[in-house]
Structure 1
């Protein structure tokens, strides 16, 4: 087989071809894995929305304060009604 200079490929040429073939098959395998992962993903993309808060809810904190005796029953019911109101807590300015 004659190349540009009329001689057969040497050792470095065979090494470059071998490395190139390994890289080609590695790239082809990576594309296959990525394609498989993309197609096997559940519909909707996985994430369904924001994660729920991990800390205690305001109602839980209020119930804990009532249980410890920091607030009395009237204050507990009044604050619970404010928390459960549709428009949220009302803050007074002043």
Structure 2
């Protein structure tokens, strides 16, 4: 026990020489700034790791755009609305003629 005490006391002058002016490892010019910056860096690191994992999972599973059903034409939507009874026959016929006229006009361009 006394040899451990002697060894620790013998090391004290060495520590005093290394940190000569008393500005030791914890009392530098940053003060507690090392801990704040270190904490922020740790948060940024873990946020980057989590974001990377999410991106990899989304990439491996396929994007949401690929899983979306193909776009339907206006005529298909109109036919579905008529089939569900949301619009009357007259309105359906009128809108179908209108859509057919637009499709013909676009083909003529």
Which range, TM-score by smaller chain? 0.3 to 0.5
- TM-score, length basis structure 2: 0.43
Q: Which structure: greater helix fraction?
A: 2
Highest CA radius of gyration, 1 or 2? 2
- TM-score, length basis structure 1: 0.48
